[in-house]
Every structure is written in C-alpha cells, then in structure tokens.
Amino acid sequence: MCGIAGWFGRCVGCDVASMLDSVRHRGPDGEGSWQNRGGTVGFVHARLSILDLSDAGAQPMSCGATVGDEGGSRIILNGEIYNFRELRAELESAGEEFRGQSDTEVVLRLLMRDGKGALPRFAGMFALAFFDSQSGRGLLARDPFGIKPLYYVQLAEGIAFASEVKALRSLVPDASTSAAAVRDTLLWGSMPGPATFIDPIRELPPGSCIEWDGSKATVSQWYDLGFRGGPAPADPVAATRAALLESMQRHLVSDVPVGIFLSGGIDSTAVLALAREVLGPDADLRTFSIGFSDPAYDESSVARRTAKHFGTRHTEWQMTAAEGREQIAGYLAAMDQPTIDGFNTYCVSKLATRERMKVVLSGLGGDELFAGYDSFRRVPEFLGLYRSLGALRPFVGRALQSSTHGSRWRRLGGFVKGRGGPLAAYHAQRGIFTEAEARELARSLTGFDPGPLDWTTEPLPPDPADIVSHLELTRYMRNQLLRDSDVFGMAHGLELRVPFVDARLFGALSNIPAPVRLRPGKKLLIEAVPEIPEWVRRQPKRGFRFPFEEWMQGSFGNILDSADKATVVPLVTWYRRWALAAVLLKREDAGGDTPSIADERGRSVRRVLRTAS
C-alpha cells in the first residue's frame, strides 16, 4: 500500500518534487522518484512496506535500465498482489531471475512480457503505472473492484495521474466544481465515479486501464463485474466456505503482522473466524475496536466477548467525547472528496497505527454479497409498486412528495412520478436529497442548472436480487465505502484489506443462484461460517456508528451553520445538513465561490482545518 503519482507526455506544471509532497502521507517508510531525460515521463512513489521490506522492494522499480538510469521498463504500484509467489514460480521456470522478494517485481516482469494481457492474472488490489522506454508506451491500470484509487487529468500534451484528487489539483488551477457534481454528491452523499468533484479530473473506473502511445491516451475496460451464472455448485454452503477460506489465505499474505477491525457485527466476526481457521489456534491475532459510553453507539462489549472467544489480543479505544472531537479536524483535512461517512474508519485506523500495525482486515463487502441491507427487500418492493400503480402513479407520487423533507417517502414519491427503473428505486432507498432538491441546491450554489439526472444504467443482471447486489457493489460500496477506507486509512499510513471484495470470490459466489445466496439475514454467510457465535448472530444490524453529530458541535458547529445559511431547501435531518456542509467545504477547496461561508465563521473553520493539516 502506497501513494503513487506521475505523468506521461509533456505536462506543464508536473514535477516530481511537488507530486511526491502530495502523496507522501500515504507511505511513511520510504519514497522515490524518477523521470526520463526528456521530462516526458515521471514517476513518484511513497512507500508503506508490506512485502519485501528491503531496498529491493523500493519503487519506482526498473528492469533493463542503463547506467544513466535510462531505458528499460519501470513501474510504480499501489496495493498488493496476493498470488505473486505462484506467478513468480511460473516466471522462474521460464528462466527469469529476480533481484528481490516483492510482488512489484513480479508484476513488472509480467507486464514486460504480456502487456495489459497480464492484468487478469493479478489476484489482489492495485493501481499501477508502467512505462516501456523502448516503445515509448505507458499503461495505467486499476483492480477489478476499484479497491485502490487512481485519478487522472488530460492535459494539452499529456496525462497526469495520482492516488488522490488533491495531488492533481494544482495542475488545473482554473478548474472548479460543476453544478452536476454538486447535484450528484447531494443525491448520494458521495461523488459518483468516474467524475470527480473537480471537473477535469477523472477517476479511472475499476477494472479499466489507460494506454499511452506517446501522444494520446485511450481508456478501455479489462474486467466486467457481471453475475455470469455458471454451473451452480451441488453444495452452496461448502462452496461458499471454500471460496471464503481461499480469499482469506490470499489476504493474509504479508511480511508484517495483520490485524482485524472488529465491530461486533456478523461480517467482521466472519473475517476473524476465517482468519483463525487459516492461521491456526496458536497464531497471534490482533483485533481492534472503538467503544463509547453511550449505549446507542457502543458495541464494544460484543466485540470484546468475541475477541476473547477467538483468543485474540484485543485493543479497545473507549473514546470520550473530548477525544472524538479532537479527531474531527484531522478527518476533515484528510477528506479527498466530499463524503458523509468515513469518520469511523479514520478513528479506528488511528488506533491500529498507534499500536504499530501496518495492515488490517475489514468486513467491508459482506452486506453487498450476502444481502445484509434493507435495500435487498425494499428496492424490489419499490419496483413492484411502480408497475402496479399504472395510471395512478402521478397522483400517488404527488401524495408521497408531501411527506417530510428528508424522508424516504418523499424520495419514493419522486421515483413513482418519474420514469422508474432500478437506479431510481435504489435512490429512493439510499439517497440523501431528492433530485428536485439536489438540482435546486446546485443551482443556488453555482448559478447553473445541472439539469435532470440520467437514471439509465449499465446492463444489469436479470434477477431482481442480483440487481440490488450489483447496485450496492458499484454505487455505495465503490463510491463511498472503498474510497473512504483508502483515504482515511492511508491518512494514518494503514493498509485496509477487504477479503469479501475479491474478484475470485465474487466469481465463485455468483454461480450460486440468488434465492440461495441472497437469503435474508445473510443466512448463507452464517451457514458457511458456523463459528460465528450466537450472541453475534442475534445482534440487530446497526452498522459501525459514531456520535459524530454531537461531536461536530462547538468549534466545528460553524461548519454545520454554513449549511444552514446556504440551503434553499429544508435540511431537517442531521445527515442532510452534514452532506451539504461537506459539499461546501470541498467546493471551497476546489475554488468554488461559496458566499454563505465567506464570513468570519467560515474563516474560523478554515483556520481550524489549516491547523489540523
């Protein structure tokens, strides 16, 4: 896990020193940079050492370079390739010789041999840049689920890229946030890719690559996230357990200790149970959780009991309100794009790094694969309601739209009155503001009407339950959970691994019919991991929640006040208030004019954030 940045072509404003400064926080263990003699290619890398801790694992890594550090091929890689040892053995049997023991060197040799055709062979999470001096060609690529981020911006004569949007901001000084970006962020609570909150900067989609031929960049997709429906296994429970254990074995590949975030819920407990099975009863396992005095948020007693049950070395941070408030400035400073979530990840990551951990496992992805959300029930219900209402839709929609601002019923009214479709139904369940509200707010903040949202989607699976799983994987998980996990984990130099978010695991599970795989209550997961204790199984699903709203008061109440002053629609709920406040903060970073916070309160907030950063 690292930070990478660089460019292909003649990119005015690109220099290795400033780019390295922008990603240094992501890699506390070392750094490196390289650019060719003509300045048409530059790579920078901030290292978090996980595999091959020696200098042989340092990046940028080269093969075939001359004494003057020219020629040959080069790579920078952010992430981990868990099957690198198998791939290395294959290369060695063909006569390849290696200098070190890192996964990066294996990736470099395979890309030199097979080009982008090697990408489907990498089992892991990655964002990489590769350059072949002989051909003058470059490659950017990202893993199938988009666990590791990669952003880029097309410039007049080249393309620049980085692990975070902030690292590219100085290259587009005249850019700002569009009305459409404001609308979309308010609709969902995070910015949907591949757009970003700063218009010219784009996110490379998951499972995609960019090929640079020396003069232009071409984007293509190398992996398709589809429910292929192959032959169903005779024993779905046994097949699920086998696939989960295989994924866990991959995700435990490391030259440093691996810990586990333990929330007290089913998913993190399943991760712990599987890790214990793979490592054996005597392995030293570290678990981490955060507790609070308020029982409405506290799950620490369940996590503590579970840790004892599995024999882990458990570390718990009983966070006071004062300690919680102390974390907010750092969290806001680390935020790369606006999000209404991620504070929990920021805090528990700080706990893990305080305990000298570099790698932790998370249960993220379990809800999406095993139907842990209410959306698996409600979205099909909403679609059924839309079909059944027929000519009554306009009347029922208007009645529902008279509900309280911020309620699901009001969003459902907008769906019923609209053109229908799975994404619109999903928004009725998952959204923050209605489309009309988001458009009105975007128009008031930017002076431009972003127009209506295009609710069409990519091709979706035929089964209604699989449609919800697909939307959860490609919307909420991709645009919010994975993005927040990377940004707020790396703010502390911590690598978050997600064993449930694995292309090979997904391929195995997608062969199990949806009525079996997506039974309510995550029954398939519970059956496949029977080690999950009864006291965890009977816990109501609450999520990993923090008393963030209460802690934002006081010094940070100015941020929430800015939303109250800027809004032209009723905010009503806490999460709508915070969503607008996050947009205002990041829009100011992007150079947008936000008169509502251009007063003493706004200046006070900015002083707090500058101090934190």
Least confident of 210-214, 590-594, 596-600: 596-600
The string over 553-590, giving b where at least 16 C-beta atoms fall within 10 Å of a residue's C-beta and e elsewhere, is eeebebbbbbbeebbebebeeebbbbbbbbbbbbbbbb
Q: What is the pLDDT of residues 334-355, one digit of tens each?
A: 999 999 999 999 999 999 999 9
pLDDT of residue 539 exceeding 90, the answer is: no
CATH of domain 2-221: 3.60.20.10
φ, ψ (nearest 5 deg) of residue 503 = -60, -40
Angle in degrees, CA 189, 190, 196, rounded to 5: 150
Query: Tokens for 282?
Result: 């005597």
CATH top-level class of 236-370+472-548: alpha beta
CA 445 from centroid of its chain's CA atoms: 27
Across the chain, mean pLDDT equals 91
Q: What is the pLDDT of residues 164-221, one digit of tens each?
A: 999 999 999 988 899 999 999 999 999 999 999 999 999 999 999 999 999 999 999 9
What pLDDT is stored for residue 247 in this prediction? Answer: 98
CA dihedral sign, ordered 12, 164, 580, 551 = negative
Q: What is the pLDDT of residues 460-492, one digit of tens each?
A: 999 999 999 999 999 999 999 999 999 999 999
What pLDDT is stored for residue 264 in this prediction? Answer: 85
CA dihedral sign, ordered 365, 331, 146, 579 = positive
pLDDT of residue 52 exceeding 50, the answer is: yes
Cα separation, 401 vs 395, whole angstroms? 10
Q: What is the pLDDT of residues 381-435, one digit of tens each?
A: 999 999 999 999 999 999 999 999 989 999 999 999 998 999 999 999 999 999 9
Q: Which residues contact 529 (CB under 8 A, 6 or more apart)?
A: 241, 244, 270, 273, 274
pLDDT of residue 601 exceeding 50, the answer is: no
Least confident of 49-63, 229-243, 296-310, 391-405: 49-63
Q: What is the pLDDT of residues 283-336, one digit of tens each?
A: 999 999 999 877 777 878 999 999 999 999 999 999 988 898 899 999 999 999
Q: What is the mean pLDDT of residues 83-88?
A: 96
What pLDDT is stored for residue 611 in this prediction? Answer: 46
What pLDDT is stored for residue 600 in this prediction? Answer: 40
Strands of 286-291's sheet in order across: 313-318, 286-291, 258-261, 359-361, 495-497
What pLDDT is stored for residue 349 in this prediction? Answer: 97
What pLDDT is stored for residue 598 in this prediction? Answer: 35
Q: Is the Cβ–Cβ distance between 205 and 150 less than 8 Å?
A: no
The string of DSSP letters for 257-275 reads: -EEEE--SSHHHHHHHHHH
pLDDT of residue 610 exceeding 70, the answer is: no
Cα separation, 99 vs 165, whole angstroms? 34
45 vs 55 pLDDT, higher one: 45
What pLDDT is stored for residue 602 in this prediction? Answer: 43
The model's pTM: 0.94
Query: Tokens for 242?
Result: 């086998």
Q: How many C-beta atoms lie closer than 10 Å to residue 222's C-beta?
A: 15
Q: What is the pLDDT of residues 551-586, one digit of tens each?
A: 887 667 888 889 999 999 999 988 899 999 999 999
Sequence spans of domains, the chain: 2-221, 236-370+472-548, 375-465, 559-612
Provide the 3-class DSSP secondary structure of residue 138: strand
CB hemisphere CA count around 375 (13 angstroms): 27
What pLDDT is stored for residue 1 in this prediction? Answer: 63
Q: What is the mean pLDDT of residues 33-45?
A: 94
Strand 137-142 to 208-212 pairing: antiparallel
Q: Which residues contact 90 (CB under 8 A, 6 or more apart)?
A: none
Q: Which residues contact 366 (CB under 8 A, 6 or more apart)?
A: 266, 267, 270, 372, 500, 522, 525
Q: Which residue has the tokens 């996990």?
A: 485
What pLDDT is stored for residue 599 in this prediction? Answer: 41
Q: Which residue has the tokens 């970003």?
A: 196
Q: What is the pLDDT of residues 125-161, one digit of tens each?
A: 999 999 999 999 999 999 999 999 999 999 999 999 9
What pLDDT is stored for residue 94 in this prediction? Answer: 94
Q: Is the Cβ–Cβ distance between 184 and 162 less than 8 Å?
A: no
Cα separation, 194 vs 181, whole angstroms? 11
247 vs 538 pLDDT, higher one: 247
